[in-house]
């Protein structure tokens, strides 16, 4: 196995971990904050997720000798940010995380459930995702309106870097936010002491509270988004690069670790798409049979970054919240544009997709159930009605 190791795999693995962590952790923080988590619970969640991603990537890649990269559910965290605090607080949200993990396990072990998820019309799933992402993608504009001197450098940095080095755009905007904090915000005199004291997070167990409303409002939409926008595309990316891992085993594994991470405050983990493409590319190794080392190194990197999550959160928390939201929103613009394009690509499903998008983006809830679920229901009803009318007329 060691004979397959290469410097190119080492460099790609380190880049994968850095890009995967730095480009998404702002979204994860925002989602957990919206669910009512305190800083210690957020740090615990990030650590639990990082351990989960690292262990799964290392074990799966070693066992199957394939570059199997694991990520946290960034669209899922964006969903949480859009839904807002659960009625029973963070403990109720954790109960929904556990339910989501159990559903992911079932989708891997119980084939009909996995097929049912794949049968959800892609335009509706993408429209729901676009509706979820809309509010966060507006945050950069709000940040500039809040304080142009603070928000504009972040946005301009992203614009310059994304045109040339897309993978580095979000890390660059995060670096711009750090500079804005250092140069433009009056930081407490003991800032470095606070960061040093908090740099190593502790795992904090959160006793889950299970409620019907949280299961339907948070757990089910989180499951659908994680499967439709992360797990299924992640498998597809591997197939494009001629790798054929067993999806059921991978889904069940990510579901089990999602439950573990959820009990310590983390959102679900899942198959990666972008970082999987990085690890599976020729840049990690010219020989496809040796590229699994990039995913292994990436897994080690995730664990190392997770162990520093407390210090990162302690520093970022000193910024006005809208600046962190702006960085998160910039990181999701690509996902939003891809989802919106996929949602409206087919003329015959555009109305149904538009209804799904509008109901989801409204942020309204009915009967205690979030708009993300109702958006999917409303769009599905419109699609079914339109198809029935076409059949009747044809």
- pLDDT for the residue 194: 60
| Structure token pair of residue 40 | 């210690």
Does any domain span residue 370?
Answer: no
Work out the percent of the chain whose per-residue pLDDT is above 90. Answer: 29
> Greater confidence, 192 or 364?
364
Is 368 a member of any domain?
no
- 185 falls in which pLDDT band (50, 70, 90)? low
Question: 66-70, 282-286, 390-394: which range is least confident on average?
Answer: 390-394
- Tally of domains within the chain: 1
Structural domain span for residue 269: 2-332
Could you report the per-residue pLDDT of 352-382, keeping only the tens digit for each?
A: 999 989 988 887 766 555 677 788 888 989 9
Res. 196 pLDDT band, cuts 50 70 90: low
Identify the pLDDT of residue 74: 81
- 160 within domain boundaries: yes
Minimum mean pLDDT among 148-152, 186-190, 219-223, 308-312: which range?
186-190
pLDDT: which is higher, 194 or 270: 270
Sign of CA dihedral 63, 68, 69, 75: negative
The whole model's pTM is what? Answer: 0.73
Q: Given this model, what pLDDT does residue 339 score?
A: 81
Residue 92 covered by a domain? yes
The yes-or-no verdict on residue 324 having pLDDT over 60 is yes
**Which pLDDT does position 120 carry in this prediction?**
73
Is residue 104, in this structure, part of any structural domain at all? yes
Helix (H), strand (E) at residue 340: helix 321-343
Residue 284: inside a domain: yes
DSSP structure string for 34-87? HTT--HHHHHHHHHHHHHHHHHHHHHHHHHHTS---EEE-HHHHHHHHHH---T
Is 382 among the domain residues?
no
Specify the 3-state DSSP secondary structure of 305: helix
177-180-184 Cα angle (round to 5): 155
The answer, yes or no, to whether residue 237 has pLDDT greater than 90, is no
The answer to the question of residue 342 being in a domain is no
Statement: residue 96 has pLDDT above 90: yes
Confidence of residue 270 (pLDDT cuts 50, 70, 90): very high
Question: What pLDDT does residue 80 have?
Answer: 86
Phi and psi angles of residue 102, each rounded to the nearest 5 degrees, phi first:
-65, -40
102-119 pLDDT, tens digit per residue, is: 999 998 888 776 666 667
Q: Which two tokens stand for residue 245?
A: 């891992």
Cα of first residue to Cα of last residue in the chain, in angstroms, is 61
Buried b (16+ CB within 10 A) or exposed e, 350-384: eebbbbbbebbbebebeeebbbbbbbbebbbebbe
CA separation for the pair 372, 3 (Å, rounded) = 48
| Confidence at residue 118, expressed as pLDDT on a 0 to 100 scale | 63
Poorest-pLDDT segment among 148-152, 207-211, 245-249, 308-312: 308-312
């Amino acid at each position: 196995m060691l004979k397959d190791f290469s410097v190119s795999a080492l460099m790609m693995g380190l880049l994968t971990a850095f890009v995967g962590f730095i480009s998404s952790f702002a979204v994860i923080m925002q989602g957990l904050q919206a669910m009512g988590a305190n800083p210690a619970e957020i740090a615990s969640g990030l650590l639990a997720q990082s351990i989960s991603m690292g262990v799964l990537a290392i074990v799966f890649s070693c066992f199957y000798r394939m570059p199997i990269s694991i990520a946290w559910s960034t669209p899922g965290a964006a969903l949480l940010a859009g839904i807002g605090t659960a009625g029973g607080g963070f403990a109720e949200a954790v109960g929904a995380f556990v339910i989501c993990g159990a559903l992911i396990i079932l989708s891997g072990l119980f084939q009909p459930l996995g097929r049912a998820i794949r049968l959800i019309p892609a335009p509706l799933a993408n429209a729901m995702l676009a509706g979820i992402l809309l509010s966060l993608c507006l945050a950069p504009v709000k940040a500039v309106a809040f304080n142009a001197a603070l928000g504009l450098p972040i946005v301009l940095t992203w614009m310059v870097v994304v045109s040339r080095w897309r993978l580095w755009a979000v890390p660059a905007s995060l670096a711009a936010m750090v500079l804005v904090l250092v140069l433009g915000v009056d930081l407490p005199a003991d800032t470095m002491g606070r960061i040093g004291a908090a740099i190593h997070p502790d795992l904090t167990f959160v006793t889950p509270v299970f409620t019907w409303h949280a299961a339907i409002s948070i757990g089910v939409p989180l499951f659908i988004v994680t499967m439709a926008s992360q797990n299924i595309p992640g498998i597809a990316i591997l197939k494009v690069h001629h790798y054929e891992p067993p999806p059921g085993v991978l889904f069940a594994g990510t579901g089990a670790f999602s439950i573990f991470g959820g009990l310590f405050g983390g959102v679900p983990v899942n198959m990666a798409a972008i970082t999987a493409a990085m690890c599976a590319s020729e840049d990690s190794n010219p020989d496809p049979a040796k590229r699994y080392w990039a995913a292994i190194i990436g897994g080690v990197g995730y664990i190392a970054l997770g162990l520093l999550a407390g210090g990162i959160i302690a520093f970022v928390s000193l910024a006005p919240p809208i600046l962190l939201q702006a960085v998160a929103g910039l990181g999701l613009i690509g996902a939003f544009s891809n989802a919106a394009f996929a949602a409206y690509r087919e003329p015959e499903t555009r109305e149904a997709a538009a209804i799904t998008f509008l109901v989801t983006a409204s942020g309204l809830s009915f009967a205690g159930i979030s708009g993300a679920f109702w958006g999917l229901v409303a769009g599905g009803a419109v699609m079914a009605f339109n198809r029935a009318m076409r059949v009747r007329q044809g």
